[in-house]
Structure 1
Amino acid sequence: MKIIVPMAGRGSRLRPHSLTTPKPLIPVAGKPIVHRLVTDIAKVLKQPIEEVAFVLGDPAWFGDDVVTSLEELAERLGAKSSIYYQDKPLGTGHAIMCAEPSLDGPAVIAYADTLIRAEFDLDPHADSVIWTKEVSNPEAYGVVKLNPNNQIIELVEKPENFVSNQAVIGIYYFKDIGVLKHKLQEVLDENITNGGEYQINDGIKRMMAEGFIFKTGTVDEWMDCGNKAITVETNAKMLGFLQQDGKEQLVDPTVQLENAEIIEPCFIGKHVKLSNATIGPHVSVGAYSIIENANVKNSLIQTHTIIKNANLDRAMIGNHVSYNGDHISVSIGDYSVLE
């Protein structure tokens, strides 16, 4: 089994945090989004992962440190890593085709801006599985249309009339991804675009037209990381799940407490110093950060950051930030100073 991860986008909706760190590498509950995504998919698949192929953007933006972290991620899964680059933002279908040498055999495609919780077995009779989540407002999403045999027969984007309540979350399994590769190559050769971009859906629709069987795999939780507010919410949900699982150490033993309280669930990284502070619930604090004279809840704070005299709720604060003030719900990018 292979996992293909297109992650070339610049994450404009998550600025300023994505101005200095590629969005898939922003930590949520202590680990980068893409690391959690790939690890969780491997758990759902319940079979050995042969290769993880990452499609990055501008090499100057996705530097050597990013490549090294992705190679280490694949190695931890016992898989080889392959690194590809999408030089121009030409759509989801184009991004997949940038990994063309890896597109053969069984594979999962997963876009690196979402996290999941799921437990199901892949349908052995399906040529492809499109992972979905039941939503209350399907008109806001791309959804699947099913026939009486619960096979997907159509993909409908933001339907005005009810089609189904199963929203496509951006994770796909193909029994032989080589078939999708050939269909996407046809799309590229015929220059079929939507909004100037080549889309994965056009390749999928060609497979459906030829009778390939598509089924749904429904996830229990679908957590987006598209903007500040929803990333903070996702951080809170993930901390709750990790606390229930009990498999990850959420508070590092090197954390220093001085007249401070941690209200679980929280992630507190290495060598964090907490003084005259109440932290939590649902807070992540990156390594080497200092929080003094503060109350922080429902927030995401990255590494090497100093927070003083603060009362924070639903805040997202980047790396190497110095913040001294009385604002509550803030979004501060890397290397900022507010005193």
Structure 2
Amino acid sequence: MASKAVILVGGGTRGTRFRPLSLDVPKVLFPVAGRPILSHALSALSKVPTLKEVLLIGFFDDSVFKDFLADSAKEFPNFTIKYLREYRALGTAGGLYHFRDAILRGNPYRLFVIHADVCCSFPLNEMLEMFEEKEAKAVILGTRVDPEVASNFGCIVMDPHTKKVVHYVEKPQSHISNLINGGVYLFDRSIFDVIGAARSARAEQFRADPIDDEEAEILRLEQDILVRLAQADGFYVYETRGFWRQIKTAGSAVPANALYLQKLFQTDIYAPNLARASAFIVPPVYIDPTATVDPTAKLGPNVSVGPRAKIAAGARVKEAILLEDTEVKHDAFVLYSILARGVKVGAWARVEGSPITAVDHLAMTSKNGVRVQSVSILATDVAVGDEVRIQNCVVLPHKDIKVDVENEIIM
């Protein structure tokens, strides 16, 4: 039976937490492990045999995805990919309902819905198996996190024997479960009946207490729909044992980069552009074929080097993302950092953040009792002088840093 998929990509008025990186490129197209974030979800979907079409829904300008769609059509010829632009932000469920005719065209039996900012192992075929086995109406991907951070996500209470969802709360004020919503769903066609009922209920609410006609049309999948599904039969959770995290803030791209690189290294150590282990390469390390890396520079683990980047002799790069046209001069040090397009790091300079792991779901750390950015982020065309040290900083575009800075946002 044929399946379709929808990837929710958001829009230009969102992504503020991903700044300053999203000033140049939408978050969903930011390269992680050498590929746009969106491509990782598409790659997983390409392994679902029954999938025939993928729809991107958001409110970016059409031109944003033009090149990406052309490239993806060549990379994934087994399904078609289209972008559907909302006339304004309608919410994660509102966009689905608005484009329901396009989604249901061709009479698909099942519908994957994926948030574009999810980084995970995407156990889609396993979710399909549960869907069939349980004769489900909906399956949600669940994952376990530390109880201390669970309330930052949607929390799921499930029957441990049947795996049925018995309760769902989005960002609860008190602890109810450390099993959280992974942002990947599988629905049958009845999901549009549930969204339609929620839309009617919301319209009634706004008629009784009118505030904003446009606000009445906004429907959120997590707050407005999943709660309804949990009150009915047929809603199950597939609990993944694989990796998972959200890419919300700019700093969270670094652990996401590490997770995808580690997955690639474990499944295909001879993958194109994956550097071979040596005295100067600690895998996994991705190096674009157009980049130039001196043989005495030491890279890794968990490093991605973008197009036309230059890394000079004696440099050390670890747990970092270097985008196109970056330059790291001789004997410089880059650790837990992101260098955006055109960044130049001088000789003997240090650009460093603080350690952040896949289970650290908040990209912040504490320095002298103050919450600061864990990952150092240098935006487009930042230049760092020779022997300058930058630690736990965010630097906005086109800045020249000539003195040491620590725990600052440099405007």
Q: Is the contact made by 1:152 and 1:214 (CA closer than 8 Å) also made in structure 2?
A: yes
Give per-residue Cα distances to partners, 1:193-248, cap 9 Å, x unaligned: 9x954211323444454x34011112221122212332101111221121111166
CA distance in 1, matches of 2:144, 2:350: 36
Question: Counterparts of 2:91 and 2:156 in 1: how far apart (Å)?
Answer: 20
Report if aligned partners of 1:115, 1:223 keep a CA contact under 8 Å in 2.
Answer: yes
Which residue does the alignment assign to 1:102? 102
Determine helix, strand or coil for the equivalent of 2:166.
Answer: strand
- Does 2:134 correspond to 1:132? no
Alignment match, 2:78: 78
Check if 1:163 corresponds to 2:176.
Answer: yes
Residues 8 and 298 of structure 1, relative CA distance in 2, 3 Å threshold: same
Stretch of structure 1 that moved more, 153-162 or 48-57 = 153-162
Query: Quick one: distance in 1 between partners of 2:282 and 2:257?
Result: 15
Deviation at 1:328, TM superposition (A): 1.9
Matches within 5 A, 1:18-37: 18-37=22-41
Measured in 1, the distance between the counterparts of 2:131 and 2:192 equals: 21
Q: How many angstroms does 1:99 deviate by?
A: 3.1
Report the counterpart of residue 172 of structure 1 in structure 2.
185
Q: Which residue of 2 aligns with 1:145?
A: 157
Alpha-carbon distance in 1 for matches of 2:51, 2:327: 40
Tell me the CA shift for residue 188 of structure 1: 3.5
Q: Alpha-carbon deviation of 1:174?
A: 0.7
User: Deviation at 1:24?
Assistant: 0.9
**Contact 2:93/2:220 (CA < 8 Å) preserved in 1?**
yes
Query: 2:252 corresponds to which residue?
Result: 230
Aligned to 1:261: 280
How many residue pairs are counted as aligned between the two chains?
327
Cα offset for 1:38?
2.4
Larger mean Cα displacement after TM superposition, 99-108 or 3-12: 99-108
1:304-315 mapped onto 2 (5 Å cutoff) = 304-309=325-330, 310-315=332-337
Seen in structure 2, the aligned counterparts of structure 1 residues 154 and 231 have a Cα distance that, compared at 3 Å, is same
TM, length-normalised to structure 1: 0.86
Shift of 1:47: 2.6
Give the superposition deviation at 1:40: 2.0
164, 178, 181: which one pairs with 2:192? 181
Work out whether residues 315 and 328 of structure 1, in 8 Å CA contact, stay in contact via their aligned partners in 2.
yes
Partner of 1:281: 301
Larger Rg: 2
Shift, 1:162, TM fit = 4.0
Q: Does structure 2 conserve the Cα–Cα contact (< 8 Å) formed by 1:103 and 1:181?
A: no
The residue aligned with 2:220 is 199
Q: Do the aligned partners of residues 95 and 163 (structure 1) sit closer, same or farther apart at CA in structure 2, a change above 3 Å counting? A: same
1:129–1:172 Cα contact (<8 Å) kept: yes
Deviation of the 1:321 alpha carbon: 2.7
Of 37, 55, 59, the residue aligned with 1:57 is 59
Distance apart, 1:63 and its partner CA? 4.8
Query: Are 1:327 and 2:340 counterparts?
Result: no
The CA deviation string for residues 168-193 of structure 1, in whole angstroms up to 9 with x for no partner, is 011110122xx222332343344369
Could you list the runs of 5+ residues in structure 1 that have no partner in the other structure? Answer: none
Structure 2 residue identity aligned to 1:6: L
Which residue pairs with 2:373 in the alignment? none
Q: How does 1:288-303 map to 2 (within 5 A)?
A: 288-293=308-313, 294-303=315-324
Q: Once structures 1 and 2 are overlaid, which stretch shifts more, 323-332 or 165-174?
A: 323-332
The one of 123, 131, 135 equivalent to 2:131 is 123
How many Å separate the matches in 1 of 2:301 and 2:63? 34
Distance 1:152 1:311 in 2: 48
Q: What per-residue deviation string (whole Å, max 9, x for no partner) do you get for residues 136-170 of structure 1?
A: 22233211122463311331123344433210011
Tell me if the contact between 1:49 and 1:79 (Cα under 8 Å) persists in the aligned partners: yes
Q: Distance in 2 between matches of 1:40 and 1:288?
A: 28
Query: What stretches of structure 2 of length at least 5 have no aligned partner?
Result: 207-211, 353-375, 386-411
Runs of 4 or more, structure 1, over 6 Å off, are none
CA contact (8 A) 2:243 2:259 kept: no
8 Å Cα contact 1:284-1:301 kept in structure 2? yes
> Structure 1 residues 207 and 281, CA, compared in 2 at 3 Å: closer, same or farther?
closer
